[in-house]
Amino acid sequence: MNVRRLVPADAPGYRDLMLAAYAQHPDAFTSTPQERAALPLAWWEARVTDAPAANECVLGAWTNDTLAGVAGLSFETRAKARHKATLFGMYVRPAHRQEGVGARLVEAALEAARGRDGVGLVQLTVSAGNRAAQALYARAGFVPFGVEPFAVAVEGGFVAKVHMWCDLDLSRAHPAHLQSLAP
Ligand SMILES: CC(C)(COP(=O)(O)OP(=O)(O)OC[C@H]1O[C@@H](n2cnc3c(N)ncnc32)[C@H](O)[C@@H]1OP(=O)(O)O)[C@@H](O)C(=O)NCCC(=O)NCCS
């Protein structure tokens, strides 16, 4: 398995994978397939930009030239929030589940967050009841810190979202922040 950051040339495959994800798992993702299918390819290309300082990056796991899974990471831009990154859009194709693909992607996302100056924690939300994803995140070092009730509306009701965070090493984030916040 090869894990690497997606680049604009990967946008069509990334788009197809995520449209399947939204359709298969309406409880796990906030976007609907219709909302995302309506976006131009340029939107997906922008999401997988390879600019080094981009606010978002997406990691992809490849097995035999197939994009088996993806995980996104977004970075805060405002000075007071720059110590936080957010993991989003985690998905592994059904045929490749329980093979360690998800674990490799989370590990790669945490590595990418560590590589960004001043980032000290990664946060995410996961739907209550999504045991596979919650177990995956817990094994990677994420801990829950709250539950948002009625977070997303799905067919038949509402789903709550569990908020989780992973401490990378907050002390590393502090000095740069204190300097950048000085008057
Ligand atoms: C959640 C998901 C990404 C896991 O990917 P995966 O590649 O199957 O995960 P891995 O094989 O790397 O498993 C790593 C760990 O996750 C947990 N896990 C994975 N699948 C699990 C399952 N079905 N039940 C319970 N735990 C599970 C386990 O802790 C596992 O550790 P183990 O190998 O010691 O059992 C995948 O099931 C998926 O894409 N689900 C649909 C979309 C989704 O829910 N995304 C998350 C949105 S927040």
Residue 83 and residue 47: Cα distance in Å, rounded? 21
This prediction has a pTM of 0.94
- Which tokens in the block code for residue 98? 């329980």
Give yes or no for residue 94 CB within 6 A of ligand 1: no
Residue 35 and residue 85: Cα distance in Å, rounded? 24
Ligand 1 atom at shortest distance from the alpha carbon of 92:
39
Residue with tokens 């990154």: 85
Sequential pLDDT tens for the chain (183 residues)? 999 999 999 999 999 999 999 999 999 999 999 999 999 999 999 999 989 889 999 999 999 999 999 999 999 999 899 999 999 999 999 999 999 999 999 999 999 999 998 899 999 999 999 999 999 999 999 999 999 999 999 999 999 999 999 999 876 665 566 666 666
Q: Which of 3, 25, 93, 98 is the best mutation target for the ligand 1 pocket, counting ligand atoms within 8 Å of the beta carbon and taking the most?
A: 98
CA of 102 to the centre of ligand 1 (A): 6
Protein residue closest via CA to atom 18 of ligand 1: 132
What residues have CB less than 8 Å from 82, skipping those under 6 apart?
Answer: 75, 76, 118, 119, 177, 180
Q: Give the alpha-carbon dihedral of 144, 147, 153, 158, to 10 degrees.
A: 110
Give yes or no for residue 129 CB within 6 A of ligand 1: no
CA of 179 to the centre of ligand 1 (A): 40
Confidence (pLDDT) at 169: 84
Residue 37 and residue 48: Cα distance in Å, rounded? 16
With vertex at residue 170, the alpha carbon angle to CA 130 and CA 181, rounded to the nearest 5 degrees, is 120
Residue 101 and residue 43: Cα distance in Å, rounded? 26
Beta bridge partners of 70: 60, 91
